[in-house]
Amino acid sequence: MQQNCIQMNDSLELYKNYPQKNLQENCKNLLGYGPNFVPAVITRAKGSFIYAGDEKILDFTSGQMSTLLGHGQPEVSETIARHAYQLDHLYSGMLSPPVLELAEKLTGLLPGGLERAMFLSTGSEANEAAIKLAKTYTGKFEIVGLSLSWHGMTGASNATTYQDGRKNQGPMIPGNLVLPAPNTYRSIFRKPDGSYDWETEMDYGFGLIDAASVGSLAAVIVEPVLSSGGMLVLPDGYLKRLKMHCERRGMLLIVDEAQTAFGRCGALFGFEAHGVVPDILSLSKTLGNGIPLSAVVTSNKIADKTASEHFLFYTTHVNDPLPCAVGSKVIDIVIRDNLVQNSTNMGDLFRSEIALLQKKYDQIGDIRGRGLMTGVEIIDPKTKEADVKLAGQLADKMMELGLSANLIRVPAFGGVFRIAPPITISREEIMLGASIFAQSFKEVLG
């Protein structure tokens, strides 16, 4: 039975004949949680594609930016099946080989100063742990985030999320302060030659933080690429200057690599390009290839001190063996198959194709990204403001033509397509996606 489960034929679809009802009928028993649901029921996913019945759709968002190696990756699927039968879930105080192996493998890839790891389920949970760790270590409570950040939907992680999700719920956790997110395309901070002056912007922001602080600054949390903020790439040297500001104030630097790690941004880790080692690193999405798995990694120094201060983050699924086995397999495949380089190559190819399209359509205001993380900002050419209506029309047309390309539809930052396909994607699939982009512009704009 086990062997048959692991080697299940892909043609035996679980939901092959599932009815494609209208959206209202599909949603009648569901509680809304934010997004506008796609008017289709997804019945199968494989590689770079998802399927709604017989309709084949190229998935340019890797599910929720998570299936780094594509859907249904055979080795990952086999790992899940094997551990589901033999070593799935344990008492939280017990250790298992997958946990020990993943901890050794992960810290072995990281620079000195990131030697101790714990494994959780979601990015929100990892950031909760990272923030609590920083507060315990410093004895302080104020946390600084970027103005277009997204770190989670739970208490402390939501309180330092500024892109959306703060309204109509009463006070956030006290002590949260905000820095302006670095936006090369839109920032008002400019040098005399017109280039982006992010150094002055950051210094100005910290001046405001110092004015607002009650003298209890604990940490800054930041993403190397602000994905939900519109795929904003941190300028070169940004993290180094940020850490300088942290050290001046006795703060820790937390880097949230939920989407950027393990090759997604064209490097094994996004912070590497900045020549800085964070005090605390959080990982999620890409580590589990769609399975709920996250990690918090820090230094021996921080781990030892917080242990003496009775740091507690004891959850039901901490250090679970099954997801840790998946994380270990994901890392093996990324390195073995040289997928970091493929991410760089395919990302460059996609942006070059969209740059050609930009020459035809000045509604494409900006193209930005690293590796297989790309933002395409749709604007009104007359005002340069985000054109959310046009972007929505384009997104709907793309879906109609067989491409799922995530569009940020919230008022805070509308009009940006977030592109993040699996890093296993082929040249042919990239070109297919680019051609659907082009066809969508042609049909919507003429």
User: Any idea what the CATH number is for the domain that residue 196 is in?
Assistant: 3.40.640.10
- Is the per-residue pLDDT at 171 higher than 80? yes
Contacts of 274-278 spanning 24+ positions with Cβ under 8 A: 274/224, 274/234, 274/236, 274/237, 274/238, 274/239, 274/240, 275/239, 275/240, 276/239, 276/240, 276/242, 276/243, 277/111, 277/112, 277/113, 277/114, 278/114, 278/239, 278/243, 278/253, 278/254
Catalytic residue among 125, 142, 201, 256: 256
pLDDT tens-digit map of 253-309: 999 999 999 999 999 999 999 999 999 999 999 999 999 999 999 999 999 999 999
Domain-ending residue, one of 282, 309, 336: 336
The angle at the Cα of 294, spanning 292 to 298, to the nearest 5 degrees, equals 170
Is residue 148 domain-shared with residue 261, that is, in the same domain?
A: yes
257 is catalytic: no
Query: The domain that contains 421 carries what CATH number?
Result: 3.90.1150.10
User: Looking at per-residue confidence, does 11 or 330 come out higher?
Assistant: 330
The proportion of the chain whose per-residue pLDDT surpasses 70, expressed as a percent, equals 96
pLDDT tens-digit map of 80-90: 999 999 999 99
**Which runs of consecutive H residues, i.e. helices, occur in 249-317?**
300-308
Catalytic residue among 264, 285, 329, 370: 285
Is residue 330 domain-shared with residue 297, that is, in the same domain?
A: yes
Q: Three-state DSSP class for 208?
A: helix
Is residue 97 domain-shared with residue 10, that is, in the same domain?
A: no
Residues in Cβ contact with 444 at an 8 Å cutoff, skipping those fewer than 6 apart = 390, 393, 394, 397
1 — pLDDT class (breaks 50, 70, 90):
very low
26 — pLDDT class (breaks 50, 70, 90):
confident
Catalytic residue among 73, 163, 259, 363: 259
150 is catalytic: yes
418 is catalytic: yes
132 is catalytic: no
2 — pLDDT class (breaks 50, 70, 90):
very low
Is residue 413 domain-shared with residue 425, that is, in the same domain?
A: yes
167 is catalytic: no
Is residue 267 domain-shared with residue 358, that is, in the same domain?
A: no
Which element (helix H / strand E) includes 335? helix 321-336
CB atoms within 10 A of CB 147: 17
Is residue 224 domain-shared with residue 319, that is, in the same domain?
A: yes
Q: Domain count of the chain?
A: 2
Strand-strand pairing, 373-378 and 116-120: unpaired
20 — pLDDT class (breaks 50, 70, 90):
confident
| Whether the predicted model's global pTM rises above the 0.85 cut | yes
Is residue 126 domain-shared with residue 237, that is, in the same domain?
A: yes
User: Looking at per-residue confidence, does 10 or 378 come out higher?
Assistant: 378
